[in-house]
C-alpha cells in the first residue's frame, strides 16, 4: 500500500492527530501532521481521547497520580478530573487549531471519552480508507505493542507518523527507506508528493541484510530512476532486529522527514523498534 491520504475535498479521509494518551505532546509530531496535510491538501482532525480507564480508576479510594514535575503522589482529583482533562484537551486543541490556521490547513477537533485505540479506529473508519494517523505524543520506549495493535486494529489508515523522543527537525531531505524492489515505485511517488510541499531533496535509502541484496536493489533503483538526477541513492546494511544503522543514516543525511515500511528490516513487526525510534531526529511515516 502506498502512503496516501485523501484530499480535504474528497471527504474520504484525513490526517488524524491522535492525542490524549499522556500529558506529553510532541511538537515535531504535530508539525509532521501539518506537513502531511499540506502536502496532500488534506485536512487535520485532532482527536483528543479521554482514556476511559482513568475515569474507572478514579472510583478507587487509593487512586493517586504522580507526575515528573511534582514531588510525591496526590489523590486523583475525583471531583476535578473531568475539568482538568477537559482543559488539557482544550489547550492542545487550541494550539493545533492555531498551527493549522497559520498554514491555511482545514482543521477539526474532536474530544471523545473511550479506549484510546478504539476511539482512533472509530475515527478512521468514519471516513476511510485514506487516513493517516499521527501519534501526537513522543514515540518512546515500549511503544512497539501499541504500534502493532494500531496497525492491527485501525484498518482505515495507510500509515502512521511517529516522532521519537529526540525528534526536533522537520526541515531537511526526505529520506525513504526501501528494502524491496516492488516498494521502489510507491515510495518514490510518496516522496515526490512530499517534495512538492517542502522543496526538500529526496534520498532513497536502500536497506538490505546482505551486500548482494543491496547491489541488486540498487541496480533496480537506478533503472527506475533513469536520468532523474533529483533523487539521491544511498544504501545501508542492516542486521535483522537492529535498525540503528538506518537511524545513523537518517542522522547523517539530516533528514527532515523519513518513510519506511512496517514489518520489515527497518521496522520489524515483532521485536524492539528502539534502535531506530530512540535516535530518530525527524518524523517517520510508517506505511503498511
Q: Which is nearer to other proteins, 129 or 140 (CB)?
A: 140
User: How far is 160 from 261, CA to CA, in rounded Å?
Assistant: 10
CB of 199 to other proteins, least distance (A): 13
At which residue does the C-alpha cell 506537513 appear?
A: 35
Element (H, E) at 168: none
From the CA atom positions of the chain, what is the Rg in Å?
20
Q: Which is nearer to other proteins, 224 or 245 (CB)?
A: 245
Element (H, E) at 44: strand 44-51
CB of 270 to other proteins, least distance (A): 16
Q: Which is nearer to other proteins, 60 or 240 (CB)?
A: 60
Q: Which is nearer to other proteins, 37 or 111 (CB)?
A: 111
CB of 66 to other proteins, least distance (A): 5
CB of 244 to other proteins, least distance (A): 9
Q: Which is nearer to other proteins, 63 or 224 (CB)?
A: 63
Q: Which is nearer to other proteins, 54 or 225 (CB)?
A: 54
Cβ–Cβ < 8 Å for 286, 267 = yes
CB of 85 to other proteins, least distance (A): 6
Contact partners, residue 101, CB within 8 Å, separation at least 6: 107
Strand runs labelled E in 107-253? 107-114, 131-135, 157-162, 174-178, 202-208, 231-237
Spacing of C-alpha 165 from chain mean position: 12
Binding site for other proteins (CB under 8 A): 20-23, 51, 53-54, 56-57, 59-60, 62-68, 70, 72-74, 76-77, 81, 84-85, 88-89, 115, 140-142, 165-166, 248, 251-252, 254, 278-279
Contact partners, residue 62, CB within 8 Å, separation at least 6: none
CB of 283 to other proteins, least distance (A): 18
Amino acid at each position: 500500500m502506498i502512503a496516501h491520504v485523501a484530499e480535504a475535498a474528497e471527504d474520504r479521509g484525513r490526517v488524524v492527530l491522535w492525542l490524549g494518551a499522556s500529558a506529553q505532546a510532541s511538537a515535531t509530531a504535530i508539525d509532521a501532521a501539518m506537513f502531511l496535510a499540506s502536502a496532500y491538501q488534506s485536512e487535520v482532525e485532532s482527536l483528543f481521547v479521554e482514556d476511559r480507564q482513568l475515569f474507572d480508576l478514579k472510583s478507587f479510594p487509593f487512586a493517586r497520580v504522580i507526575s515528573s514535575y511534582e514531588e510525591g503522589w496526590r489523590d486523583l482529583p475525583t471531583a476535578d478530573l473531568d475539568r482538568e482533562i477537559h482543559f488539557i484537551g482544550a489547550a492542545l486543541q487550541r494550539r493545533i487549531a492555531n498551527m493549522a490556521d497559520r498554514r491555511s490547513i482545514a482543521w477539526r477537533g474532536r474530544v471523545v471519552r473511550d479506549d484510546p485505540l478504539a476511539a482512533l479506529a472509530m475515527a478512521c473508519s468514519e471516513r476511510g480508507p485514506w487516513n493517516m494517523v499521527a501519534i501526537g505524543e513522543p514515540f518512546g520506549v515500549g511503544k512497539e505493542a501499541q504500534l502493532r495493535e494500531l496497525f492491527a486494529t485501525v484498518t482505515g489508515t495507510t500509515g502512521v507518523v511517529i516522532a521519537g523522543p529526540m525528534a526536533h527537525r522537520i526541515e531537511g531531505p526526505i529520506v525513504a527507506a526501501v528494502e524491496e524492489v516492488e516498494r521502489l515505485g510507491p515510495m518514490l511517488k510518496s516522496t515526490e508528493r512530499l517534495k512538492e510541499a517542502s522543496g526538500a531533496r529526496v534520498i532513497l535509502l536502500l536497506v538490505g541484510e546482505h551486500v548482494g541484496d543491496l547491489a541488486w536493489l540498487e541496480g533496480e533503483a537506478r533503472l527506475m530512476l533513469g536520468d532523474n538526477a533529483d533523487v539521491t541513492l544511498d544504501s545501508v546494511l542492516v542486521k535483522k532486529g537492529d535498525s540503528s544503522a538506518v537511524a545513523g543514516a537518517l542522522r547523517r543525511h539530516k533528514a527532515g522527514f523519513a518513510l519506511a515500511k512496517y514489518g520489515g528490516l527497518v521496522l520489524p513487526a515483532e521485536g524492539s523498534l528502539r534502535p531506530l525510534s530512540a535516535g530518530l531526529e525527524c518524523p517517520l511515516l510508517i506505511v503498511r
